[in-house]
Amino acid sequence: MGFQNKTGSVTVTAKMTDLGKRNLLTAPERFQITKFAALDDEVDYSLWNPTAANGDADYGKAIEGLPTLEPVASNVFQAKYALIKDMDRTTQRMPIFTLNPTSVNLQYIDSMTQVHVLIQNVDEPTVRVILLDNTKADITAPGATMIDVNPLVVQNFIGQSGFTYAKAFECPTNSTIEVTAKRNENNFNVETKMIIIGTSTNARAEVPITIQPNTTIDT
């Protein structure tokens, strides 16, 4: 990660993602740039200061002075907070997820917990669901459509050595996602995470997943 110098002329930097590079090299027909998104990952809105001595012209001065992040090759690190378009100007509440349960703890091989996903305050037809490490658990949902993900990027994100394997799909909103434990032959708990993202609003929620040491199947 780095910072862009904001003094002087405006700089627009474009960088190809890891997935884009892979498609360009191995399946050029899949490399089709059709959309772009505006995001504000680097903005800290808590710096908005309605008590600024010089009045409303300076309310956002600290925000305007924040450095601009350089683009990175992974949307796991960056591009998390897209600006929402086409929302009614009278909107008073942002979309939020309600999850039940908010975390998952699995004791046996093949033991399963259902996570009920509900999004509030907006009509969101589908969500993207990403399991960061598919070697520790598995996820399924009715009507799911698989999404290609880059395991190396996810491995870097969670900070573990060696490859980990992500799984991702898109499914209808308000689905029930089943999380199933895989074998954990360690003498300690292993952990991963499930990330749920609204496809149009970019609303985001995370579910920690813990797999206890197990050598037996849940009966």
Question: For the domain that residue 163 is a member of, what is the CATH number?
Answer: 2.60.40.10
For residue 198, the model assigns a pLDDT of 87
Let me know whether 105 and 202 are in one domain. yes
Confidence of residue 162 (pLDDT cuts 50, 70, 90): very low
Let me know whether 132 and 202 are in one domain. yes
Let me know whether 57 and 104 are in one domain. no
**Strand 96-100 to 112-120 pairing:** antiparallel
Q: Is 88 among the domain residues?
A: no
> Which residues, other chains included, contact 109 with Cβ-Cβ below 8 Å and sequence gap of 6+?
181, 182, 183, 214, 215, 216, 217, 218
Number of structural domains in the chain: 2
Q: Is 135 among the domain residues?
A: yes
Q: Which residues form the domain of 153? A: 96-211
| 78-124 pLDDT tens trace | 666 777 666 677 777 778 888 999 999 999 999 999 999 988 888 88
Q: Is the pLDDT of residue 158 over 50?
A: no
| 170-208 pLDDT tens trace | 999 888 999 999 999 999 999 999 999 888 777 888 999
Let me know whether 168 and 131 are in one domain. yes
Let me know whether 109 and 156 are in one domain. yes
Q: Is 76 among the domain residues?
A: no
For residue 172, the model assigns a pLDDT of 92
Q: Is this structure's pTM higher than 0.95?
A: no
For residue 3, the model assigns a pLDDT of 57
Q: Is 84 among the domain residues?
A: no
Q: Is 218 among the domain residues?
A: no
Q: Is 216 among the domain residues?
A: no
If you count them, how many residues does the chain have?
Answer: 219
